[in-house]
Amino acid sequence: MFALGVALVPIGLVETWTDTPWTLERWWHLAPLAVLCALMAVRRGRPLTALGVGVLVFVAEGFFGGSLASLLVFIELVHAAGRYGRGRIADRLAHVIVAVIAAVGVLTLVATRDLRVAIMAALTVFAVLGTSYWWGESAKQQADLVEAERARAEDLARMAALREEQARRGEREAMAGEIHDALSGNLAAITIHAEAGLANPEVAPQALQVVRTTSKQAMGELRSMLAVLRPDGGPAMPPSNLEDAVDAARGRGLEIDDRYEPALLGDLPPQVAHAAYRVVQESLTNVERHCPGGQAELVVKRDGDLTITVDSPCGVGPRSDGGYGLTSMSERVTSLGGVFEAGPHDGGWRVHAVIPLDSGEVVA
């Protein structure tokens, strides 16, 4: 821009306003032009400061006629103030420009008594200040809109990634619960009967038979879970027949006093039936761990909710699984909107679960 000013001076495109009290040699107009061009370097970082200093330089040069090059640079400074200006001063700049345009029109009318001249003066100032400012302000609003859309897209991407991570975590926790419930009870039973067979050769054949049956059952449940994990495995649920859990525990030597009608459990929603199966399976497994050869009482009621109660005369000793079984049962029941309780009761141990029957659409 300074080079343009140097080119315009020899042509004589200075003294834009000829009706001024003073005049200068045309080459003197390069000094204010140089200052205005220097302000261009900071118009993005400090647009309001650049405009403020630019106004002083431009008005001062105007008393000596001004120059076309300085006018072009000043227009760019006004545009930069609209484009990059921020804060309360920038927000009020539009009002200042409107006030300047009105003041120029009024002062011109007072000085010339000619309405047409006053209107032309106001329109000229509007062309210099108004259009350049609103052009910059429009560009700023467009840039802000683009930035807002970019930030929104980033937020949506972060939320999607978070939901995906939560889904993965939920799947991992669900699979960990399935593996624990399916295998830990069977492995515990295998350990108990293997130790009994080693300690007493007379019961070794019976213990080995239990180990064999329990191992086959564990393998069957593991295959069922692996089938669900395969891409073509479908949404099938692992085994959830409550009677199977009771029969398996009986086969391992646990005496069970069961009080329920199997016919009442035949049409349970899949998620409810599966949760009930795991609660009964894990509860009976805990009885086997802490009360080998003992007894358990199982009561299942259906009246609007499915209520499961497992009582054992033995208390609970140190947990070999870190208490994960109780945590898994609690998570299964509460995820379906139910209530789970486990703790000492009448000198023994009680597990009590209430599962709403209308929670069948909820995925455990």
- Size of the chain, expressed as the number of residues it contains: 364
Domains (ranges, CATH) in the chain? 2-151 (no CATH), 242-364 (3.30.565.10)
pLDDT tens for the chain, 364 residues: list them: 555 555 555 555 555 555 555 555 666 767 877 888 888 888 888 888 888 888 888 888 777 767 777 888 888 888 888 888 887 887 788 888 888 889 988 988 988 888 898 899 889 888 888 888 888 888 888 988 999 999 999 999 899 888 888 888 877 777 777 777 667 777 777 887 788 788 888 878 877 887 877 787 777 777 666 666 665 554 445 556 888 888 888 887 888 898 888 777 778 888 888 889 889 988 888 888 777 667 899 999 988 899 999 998 876 654 555 567 788 889 889 988 899 999 888 888 999 999 998 865 443 3
Q: Are 250 and 189 in contact (CB under 8 A)?
A: no
Distance of alpha carbon 71 from alpha carbon 77, whole angstroms: 10
Contact partners, residue 290, CB within 8 Å, separation at least 6: 312, 314, 315, 316, 317, 349
Cβ burial, residue 287 (10 Å; 0-12/13-18/19+):
buried
pTM reported for the whole predicted model:
0.46
Contact 253, 293 (CB under 8 A): yes
Distance, in Å, from the CA atom of 256 to the CA atom of 247, rounded to the nearest integer, reads 9
The residue with tokens 């069957």 is 220
Can you tell me whether residue 351 is helix, strand or coil?
A: strand
Cβ partners under 8 Å of residue 259, min gap 6: 297, 298, 299, 300
| Residue in 128, 136, 141, 107 with CA at minimum distance from that of residue 54 | 128
